[in-house]
Structure formats: structure tokens, C-alpha cells
Structure 1
Amino acid sequence: MSHLPTGAVRPAGTGERTPARVLAAVREAALAGLSPCAEPRAVISESWTRTLRLGVDPDAGTAHRILSADEIEQRRHSTPLAEVLPSLRDGLVSVADATWHIMVVTDAEGRVLWRDGSPAVRRSADRVGFSEGASWAEGTVGTNAIGTALVTRTPLQVHSAEHFVRTLHNWTCAAAPLHDPRDGRLLGVVDVSGPATSLHPATLALVSAVARVAEGELRTRHWEAVERLRSVGAPLLSRISGQALVVDRNGWTAAVTGMAGTDRVALPSRVRAGQVWLPALGLCELDPLPGGWLIRVGERERPAAANRVVLDLCGAQGGEVTVHGQAGHWSQRLSPRHAELLFVLALHPGGRTATQLAADLFGDPSRAVTVRAEMSRLRRTLGGVLAHRPYRFADGVGVEVLRPGRAADLLPHSLAPAVLAERG
């Protein structure tokens, strides 16, 4: 069985506060390929379908290797989440402890890095494999707040038998994704979990609010680092003739001379010192600085025209674009939204208006302003690769799209109608 039955429209659907026995009946009917007595929530139904396709055991989940203590420590030290762990604990642990819950923080793969809260609930969590180093991705334990939030990139509460694996039906979980404000990269998830009998409708709102506070703290730390870099870069640029910028490791501009300022320069995925071709600036010379880069822009204001673009959508974090031109090639990872936009433009060589793209991405043509803002950012990044009126790849640029082996794995986080149609 690979898909849930559609059936007729039922008079009522399930929700977080639906009695556990009803949720269990809905799940059993879905697993058996029968029409359930009530419709599961759309986000749960879609997750169940993915989980069935992944072959997860509905009784016990999929066996996996627990990370060693050394591997856990290595991941803890390599993630920006360690910087905001005190804020997450301050906002959630006292509440979790008082209500017989635990707070869990995972990385972007769903691996549990930190766990705190009620000792009794932690012991219960150990019995279902909810321990540090364990994988809580959908491919391991099926539908759950952590793994499903990693896929949908949105806050989510999963209650009782909405969990795909039977051994988790005594649990309720609320999770919110955490993103790096410097580049939009998904860092992981913060989650509060506890007994299903302790479901509280405000838990998800609390977890989401604390996640936003943590992201705000990361944003503040980022701009403080940019300010420190500016104090180093501004005196350096005052001694340079011509066009030059000082940027941090993520391309955010700290200082500029001889040219119009820009918020951010798109750096290659594997940036290195020396001569580098940047589609938005041309041939540049990069020199390392503490915490960033000095970019000296070459005489040519723009690079020679690009002739080929490769859009690689086989990765799980959104995808990567590689631009080829006479001066070389350049690669950068894409945010999920930019991956969607470039994919839709690749599907429509003749171009799309902002209104059409809004319908493609959001199912809402009125969101054209949002599309224009995103396309403006993309065009600053990709230089002459993209044209507008309508939005499209520039004339003479060949486009190759690398898709995952299974259509269902195409941009798995995306809810864009155009992407859903291609998966189907």
C-alpha cells in the first residue's frame, strides 16, 4: 500500500483534541486501505502517505544506529543551536518539568542532541527510543511532531494515534523548526513532548514563540558579528582604490567602497581565497579576513554571459544551483523558496508573470508582491541568468534540472501547487 484512500467526504475531520479512540480508528482504517470514520488532518494524512512509502514498521518503527557520545558532542559543537540552548531551556524546561513533559532539541536530520525536563517522562521516553542520539525523522519513526515539522518546515502538534508508530500513541508532541537567520538554513527542531493525557492547546503556541525568540537571538548575534567585522573592514577599504567589499562568511556586507552597497553577496558553496567568478559581480579576488572575506571586484562590472544552469534538486535541504559561463562556474545552495522558484521557471521556458508564480507557489495569485520581492533577491544573486517581464531564464541560457530518483522526493518540504503536481 502506497497511498491513503481518498474516499467520500466525511461530515467531520480529526484534530489535536479528537479523542484517542477515534484517532486510533482512523489510523487503523487508513493502514488497512479502508475509508476511515473521519478524515485525518491534511498534514497528518500526507505524512502517513510518506511514511507508508518509506516502509516504516507501523508497530515499532525502523531500526537505526544511535549516535555515540562522541558523535553527539561533535554535532552539538558544530551547530549554532548551542548558542541559543540557554534561551530554549529558560523558555520551556520549567514549563515542561511542571507539566510532566520533556524538552527536546534535534538537528536538521532529526537526531536528538539535547533532552531535558521531567525525569519520569525521560525514563518513559527511553523505553520508546526517544533518547539522545536517536533519529526522530519520519523515515525512522514515521509521523511525529519533530520529523514532520522537519519536512513541512512549520510548527506542528501531533497527538496520540496521529503518530504513525503504535508505540507512540501514548504521547503528545509539539515542535517548531529553527532556522539560521544568516542564510535561512534549517538548523533543527525544538519540541515539547509528554503523556497524551496531558495535551494542552497552548503548548504549540508556546513552543513556536520560544523558537522565534531563539531565532531572534541568533539574528542579534549575527549583526553584532557584522559590526565587529565592519570595524576591521572599513579602515582596510579606505586604503583600496577601485571597487571592493568586506563581507562575513555568509556574504553579508560589512563595508563597501567604490560601488553601490548591497545587503549580501552570494558566495560560492565552497568559497576559497584567490580568483573567483561571482555571477552578480564578475571576476573577483577574495582574501580571507577574521570572520569574513575581502572581495576586490575586477575591472569588468559584470561577468561574461552565462550559458548553462544546472539546478540540482536531489538534496534534502532545498537544492543547489550551478552557473556555467566563459569565466568559469559558480555554485550555491538554495533556500527552499528559491529552489521552488527556479524549478517553476525551468518548467516554463516561456516565462511566468508574478501573478502566475504566486499561483504556482502559494495557490494564491494575490501574493504577487511576495513573488516580486523573492525574484528581486534571486536576480541580484544570479546576475544576467534571469530575465523579467515575464520572469524567465535569460535567452541563450541552457537549463538542466536534476531530479531525485522518485518523483515523491522532489522538494519534499514544498507545499507549492506546482511542485505537488510534479510529484503526482
Structure 2
Amino acid sequence: MRRAQRLPPPAVLALLYLALVLAGSVAFLLPAATTQPISVMDAIFTSTSAVTVTGLSVIDIQTGLTFWGQLILLLLVQLGGLGLMSFAVLILSALGMPIGIRHQTYLREDLNQTSFTSLTKMVGIILRVVLLAELAGTALLCLVFVPEFGVKTGVWHAAFHAVSAFNNAGFSTFSTGLVPYATDPIINLVIPALFIIGGIGYVVLSDIRRRKFWTGWGLHTRLMVVGSLVLIFVGVTLTAVLEWQNPRTLAVYPAAADRLMVAWFQGVTPRTAGFATTDMAGLHDSTALLFMALMVIGGGPTSTAGGMKVTTVMVMFLATLAFFRRRTEIWAFGRSIGLDEVLKVMALIAIAAVLNFAGIFLIAATHDGDFLNISFEVASAFGNAGLTREYTDDLSTLGRVVIMVMMFLGRVGPLTLGFFLATRTTPRVRYPEGQVHLG
């Protein structure tokens, strides 16, 4: 226990995630979990994907897992999805881990809280939101699945998809995913509502519920709401425009209303949700590139979503805008954004770019496959999105290891980076400024 107390908090969190992955792997290897024996690599890959709420799978969830196997998967998704920064701080505190004031800075800023008391209240809000959203989602999805499969099986399908959607996991109990329900209005409303609520962040939900509309919202909430609306509009609009005449995707449906419905679902789902109601391998290259960008951006901080986060992209956009307008201060909605925040954003984007490049390079160098499919797979893993162009099964052992590492870093990485960014050291020696020519 004393040795554990000497570890940095993010290292303890990473170990907790790793322990959960290993426990899940052992559970999947049990005879009762699968319809036929699976390899250790398949078990580890599936467990990693579940704990990191990614959704990529090398096992057919419908035919490869028994009810108990699906239940294990769902529990891992729920635990992984709720492994938020607020929970991490409470767990570490309960274990007696030393979390100094400097180390708490980034976590409290990200949660928009000022003390552990308010952080405890936030966890209460989280639990209420989770229970309400998942129970409501299950009840509404029962309207679709119970008439088709009966009460027992229908309720299970509904509960599984509700939990998977809220946690932005993208796992489905159907081999074909949600493609058969591509034009079902309930599916197209409930599933996106669940993963948007789960992915926008609990700080935002708390602000929206407790404070006056817009004027009472904090800067973080305003940036998240505006950024999310813009990304949803861009994603849906471009998906409709680019895929309207594609015979493998939207053009499968003759009615314009059906095409718009599919475009809506696929336009919002790339931001870490992972569900698909159309053929991902049939997308035009331009649409696949759009989805890659959305997957890497992801959702909001303190949410079930992965990726770099919407606020990161918003701050970078504002900093770029300030540069071109020759402003020395970055501001939005009447609030300024400090240089420290911009440096954090630069570090996050740089690390995300390096990790994605390294992942694509390693798989491209060791696999014979389409470059776009490889890039799409890596972006999906890093953003914890779970969408695939049917390339997951083509991965070799090394390729699966690379994807697992990307999934793990995409989930645990932000907190780890936040810890180091929040740990400031005062330089003992100051050097004279030098000039560097850029551009």
C-alpha cells in the first residue's frame, strides 16, 4: 500500500484501467462467456475495447458471446464509461493517495469545481444522470425491440443498446449493428440522444440544469454547446451532401426522408459513439476523411466520450483567430482564455498527431491493406469511436497490439497529460530571449 501511495495519481488510474482490462480478459476466457473457445489475444482485445468504450471487436457479439459474455461486456463498458476524472479523484482520495494542490489544479479546472465537496456533488449528479438516461433509453428502445423479439429478449437488447449508447461504446448485440433499423424513427432519436448526452459532459449538463440559459452558463459550457452544435451541423450536412448519390450508403434508400435520417445518424455518431446504420466500407474517401476528423475530435471533457475533446479544438480555433487578427489576448463570450490553456491545447494536439502518425505508420509498415482503411482504424481507436471499414479482422497480432495501445492511450491519456500539465515548476535560471524565424 505504501508503494502505491508513492505512485503519481495518473499512474494509479492507468493501473486501475489495466487491472480492469485483465480482469475482463480472464472473464471472457471462461467457458460460460463464449459460444466457443477464443484466443487470449481476442479476449484481451475485446476487454480493452470495452473498458475504453471504443466498440471495435474481433468477436461477433451476437453469435460469439453467450448472455453471460454479453453481460460481462456490458459491465466493462459501464465501468469504463464511468471511469471519469471525478471518479478517479475520489477513488485516489479514498485510497489515501497523495494528491497535492498543484496536482488537483487541472482536474478541478476540467470539472469546473473548486473543492472536493463540490466534486462530490458532481459525482451525485453523474450517478443521477446515468440512471435516468439509461433507464429512459431502455424504456424507449423497448418499443422497438420487445414487439420484435418478445419481452425477455427485447428488454435485454434495449438495455444493452441504451448502456452502450450512453457510454459512447458502440457495441451492438446484432451482427449487422443497427443497419436493419436505419430508418426507424425511435432508433434515430433515442440512440443519438443517449450518446450526445453522455458525450457532452456532466459539467455542461449541470450548468444547463442549474443555471440561467446562456447568461448563467460558464465559458466551458458555452464553448461545448456551440462547438457541439457546429460539429453536428457540419457532420450531418456534409454526410448528406457527399453520400446522397452513393449507391452503397444513402442512395440505397429511394426516399429523401430516409436518406436524411441516415445522414443524421451517421453525421453525429463518429464523435466516439461507434454505431453505424450504413456500410462504413462503402463511404466515399472524402466522407471517410470527415469521419476521421470527427472521431479524433471526440466529445467533451468529463464525459463518456473520447478524442481530443471539443473544447480543445475550440480553444485552438480561437487562438488561431486571435493570431490572424493580431490580438494579444484570446477571448470568447466575454471571457479571456489564458496562455496556459493554449499551451495545454498545443500539447494535446501535438501528442494526438504524433500518436496517430505512429499508429498508422506501424500498421501500414506491417500490413498489406488500403491506407485509408488503416488510417480510419487508427483514428477510430484513438478517438474511442469504434467505427471500422471492416478492417479489424484483417489485423495481425502486432496490428491488434497497436490498436489496443491506441485505445488505451485515447482513454487514459488525457488525465495523464493533465497531471503533468498541472504540475508546474519554477525555473531557477532564466535565459535571455532569442529570435526564431517561423513560417
Normalization by structure 2: what TM-score? 0.26
- By relative contact order (CA 8 Å, sep 6+), the higher-ranking structure is 2
Normalization by structure 1: what TM-score? 0.27
The structure in which a higher percent of residues are strand is 1
The structure in which a higher percent of residues are helix is 2
